[in-house]
């Protein structure tokens, strides 16, 4: 059976900010913070990519490599300002597949954070 080379993690997050922010601004902030904390090599190893962002609900999904999950979480946690506004990015759920992430998010209850 073929095995995928890189294991991935899908991170479902929500943004808490003073003002409404666009998806591009949020992803730019995530990439910049990953670069600032871990450098080009670390950011490249994380293989960060944008999956989706819902501006109405301030929720989104990014993907990273399985081995860089903790570093990606750290980069998200260290963000405090996006485009001049105070903001926080909070991880709701983490899963190995997008389908799994959606199922977990649908079942999620308050205080039930991965």
Partner 1 sequence: MREFADLRVRKPADPAEFERMILTAKELGYRHLGVVFNGDRVTDENSLGMDVISRVELSPTSPGDLLSSLRRVRDRFEVVAVDCSSKAVARQAAKDHRVDILMFPGDLSEKKAIGLDEQEATLAAGIGCSFEISAVELIRAGSARMAKLITRLKKETTSARRHDIPIIVSSGAASTIELREPRALSAILDLLDVEEEAALDMVSINPLNVVERNREKLKPGHTEPGVRRL
Task: Report which of 5, 9, 4 is spatially closest to residue 72, judged by C-alpha positions.
Answer: 9
Least distance in angstroms from the C-beta of 1 to partner 1: 30
Is residue 67 near partner 1 by the rule CB under 8 A?
no
- Residue closer to partner 1, measured from CB, 36 or 54: 36
Residues 32-61 binding partner 1 (CB under 8 A) are 36-37
Least distance in angstroms from the C-beta of 70 to partner 1: 5
Is residue 114 near partner 1 by the rule CB under 8 A?
yes
Of the candidate residues 45, 47, 50, 88, the single one contacting partner 1 (CB under 8 A): 88
Residues of this chain that interact with partner 1 (CB under 8 A) are 16-18, 36-37, 70-71, 73-74, 76-78, 80, 86-88, 90-91, 110-114
């Amino acid at each position: 059976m073929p095995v995928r080379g890189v294991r991935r993690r899908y991170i479902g997050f929500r943004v808490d900010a003073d003002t409404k922010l666009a998806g591009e601004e949020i992803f730019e902030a995530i990439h910049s913070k990953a670069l600032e904390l871990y450098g080009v090599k670390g950011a490249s190893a994380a293989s960060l990519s944008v999956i989706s962002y819902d501006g109405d609900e301030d929720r989104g999904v990014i993907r990273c490599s399985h081995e860089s999950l903790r570093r990606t979480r750290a980069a998200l946690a260290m963000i405090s300002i996006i485009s001049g506004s105070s903001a926080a990015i909070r991880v709701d759920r983490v899963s190995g597949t997008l389908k799994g992430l959606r199922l977990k998010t649908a079942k999620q209850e308050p205080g039930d954070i991965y």
